[in-house]
């Protein structure tokens, strides 16, 4: 086999190999995998900004993506009554990737663990009310952070908390 033929065959084999690998990689910016862990509680990365929050149970935990430094969104039922809860997760100003509905028990919460560093929009519907929380990509830096959506009698309140610790490395 001459040099030109060897390079042609090798180049074709490399191209086929690379295209096969790339076909198994999700498209950049495409929707991440969403896994539901019913009945499992998530370890909270930071304490709530509102200190009197408590829940008797976690309706479900939604794990979005596979990254290693998550931003958490916690939805709390502070109404004292069971509600119908709907959640949508996606990118801001785009169609949602996932829609889910739950019976949201009195004094319960729902946890969302956003693991991939990207922009998110999480929309919560309860009792005819709607609240959309946008999570910027900056929340996925080396600090821990969480957003709380508190469902109260006639309103929904949003609070957030992030640690201000240094990220390590050189000063």
34-162: which CATH topology?
Immunoglobulin-like (2.60.40)
Q: Is the pLDDT of residue 3 over 50?
A: no
Q: Is the pLDDT of residue 101 over 60?
A: yes
Share of the chain above pLDDT 70, in %: 76
Which residue's entry shows tokens 């999570």?
A: 135
Instruction: Read off the tokens for 120.
Output: 């998110």
Q: Which residue has the higher pLDDT, 21 or 155?
A: 155
The domain limits of the chain are: 34-162
CA torsion angle for 75, 163, 68, 87 (degrees, to 10)? 20
Q: Give the pLDDT of residue 29.
A: 57
Q: Give the pLDDT of residue 31.
A: 85
Contact 160, 148 (CB under 8 A): yes
- Annotate the chain with DSSP letters as a single string: --HHHHHHHHHHHHHHHHHHHHTTSPPTTSPPPEEEEETPPPPPSS--SSTT---SEEEEEEEES--SS-EEEEEEE-SSS-EEEEEEEE-TTS--SEEEEEEE-TTEEEEEEE-SSS-EEEEEEETTEEEEEEE-GGGGSSS-EEEEEEE-SS-EEEEEEE-----SS--
Q: Give the pLDDT of residue 132.
A: 97
Q: Nearest to residue 102, comparing CAs of 91, 122, 87?
A: 87
pTM above 0.85, yes or no: no
pLDDT tens, position by position, 108-137 = 999 999 999 999 999 999 988 999 999 999
Q: Give the pLDDT of residue 25.
A: 42
Q: Give the pLDDT of residue 127.
A: 86
* pLDDT, mean over the chain: 80
Q: Nearest to residue 117, comparing CAs of 167, 44, 68, 62?
A: 68
User: Which whole number is the average pLDDT over 94-106?
Assistant: 94
Which residue's entry shows tokens 């539901």?
A: 36
Q: Give the pLDDT of residue 16.
A: 42
Q: Is residue 1 very low, low, confident or very high in pLDDT (cuts 50, 70, 90)?
A: low
């Amino acid at each position: 086999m001459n040099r030109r033929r060897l390079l042609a065959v090798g180049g074709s084999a490399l191209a086929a190999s690379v295209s096969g690998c790339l076909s198994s990689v999700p498209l950049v910016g495409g929707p991440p995998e969403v896994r539901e862990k019913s009945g499992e509680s998530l370890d909270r990365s930071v304490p709530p900004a509102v200190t009197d929050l408590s829940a008797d149970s976690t309706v479900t935990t939604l794990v979005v993506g596979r990254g290693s430094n998550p931003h958490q969104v916690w939805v709390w039922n502070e109404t004292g009554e069971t509600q119908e809860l709907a959640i949508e997760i996606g990118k801001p100003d785009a169609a949602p990737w996932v829609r889910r509905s739950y019976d949201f028990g009195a004094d319960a919460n729902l946890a969302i663990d956003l693991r991939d560093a990207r922009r998110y929009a999480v929309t919560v519907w309860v009792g005819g009310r709607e609240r959309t929380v946008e999570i910027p990509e900056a929340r996925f830096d080396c600090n821990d952070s969480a957003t709380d959506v508190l469902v109260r009698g006639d309103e929904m309140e949003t609070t957030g908390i992030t640690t201000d610790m240094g990220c390590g490395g050189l000063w």
